[in-house]
Amino acid sequence: MSIILNSPLDMHLHLRDEAMLSTVGPLSSESFAGAIIMPNLVPPVSTKEELIAYRTRILNVTKEHTFTPYMTLFFKPTYTKEFLESIKNELTAIKLYPAGITTNSEGGVSGFDVDELRPTLDAMSELNIPLCVHGETNGFVMDREAEFVSIYEMLATNFPKLKIIMEHITTKQSVEALDKFENLYATITLHHLLITLDDVAGGMLQPHLFCKPIAKRPEDRDALRRVALEGHPKVMFGSDSAPHPQHAKESCGCAAGVFTSPIALQILTELFVEHSTVEKLQAFVSGNAQKIYSGIKVPSKTITLEKKEFKVPNKYGEVVPMYAGETLAYSIVNVKG
């Protein structure tokens, strides 16, 4: 039996820059039709010139494939309405990071003062620019996301016209928040549908599964699986695939991030088939995102998968993927477009 996916989208992706971009860019563009590109370079993407230049560098390394990079800016409360109007046609969303919470987020927001955020968030609401949020506090590592739910609620209530995407959710509290506020949406990664903290640190420490937000408890994973597998209209696939060179993962001071771009569609297919919900996969990997990000233009591209073993390479360049060296049940057998 073949499984056909039309224009799969990765709604949260880290492509990095320079040599790393050349390695990982084509690994996303070969099987995805488009992706929301995270802006946390050094320095973060925060001007029109930087955004356009970064998009050009991405298009250069992905030009063999049909692929649209949907660009984002690194949120700053100093963005004016005039500035946002001038850049609106170049960007798809703006990403907010709490200060210092993950890779290259030092310049992010500290303290969530509504009055300070209001001018920029009101302008984004008017211009229909979605706000993507890395939702973690500086609290205890297992509680950071659940603690952040009150900030999501504050944002959702104060800015009812703003589309707020809770990025890479990992807890049942975030899943519950989805249905409480009309303007809250979420992305879910591949790895958070698969692993819990036990897989990261329950036995020998697994640096290639270490990420932010950290994988949580089995009941959290179950809550994520439930909404993903039912094709819940407010959730979208966003891999948060985040490459680091092997030496930065297998070291004292392991960098956070799991690299999944080249294996994501194969494993999602297996997961949805296993749960007899494969008819919901199209919504999870593309349809919901197209409705939530209502303005995006999606290139047509058809991916065919079949039940056929796929041996995951040990490395892609210097990057070790999730399930390195293991054999997956499904393969991509054809890409059209």
Residues that bind Zn ion (CB under 5 A): 240
C-beta of 23 vs 239, nearer to Zn ion = 239
- How far is residue 235 CA from its own chain's centroid? 11
C-beta of 37 vs 271, nearer to Zn ion = 37
CA angle 101, 289, 97 (to 5 degrees): 15
C-beta of 10 vs 240, nearer to Zn ion = 240
C-beta of 220 vs 240, nearer to Zn ion = 240
* Residue nearest to Zn ion according to CB distances in the complex: 240
Q: By C-alpha distance, which of 90, 95, 85 is closest to 58?
A: 90
The yes-or-no answer on residue 240 being catalytic is yes
- How far is residue 104 CA from its own chain's centroid? 16
Angle, helices 218-229/172-180, rounded to nearest 10 degrees = 40
Residue 87 C-beta: closest distance to Zn ion, Å: 21
Nearest-angstrom CA–CA distance, 9 and 23? 19
Residue 38 C-beta: closest distance to Zn ion, Å: 5
In one-letter notation, the amino acid at residue 121 is: L
Q: By C-alpha distance, which of 311, 297, 305, 308 is closest to 335?
A: 305
Three-state SS for 241?
strand
Residue 337 C-beta: closest distance to Zn ion, Å: 27
Q: Which positions are catalytic? A: 240
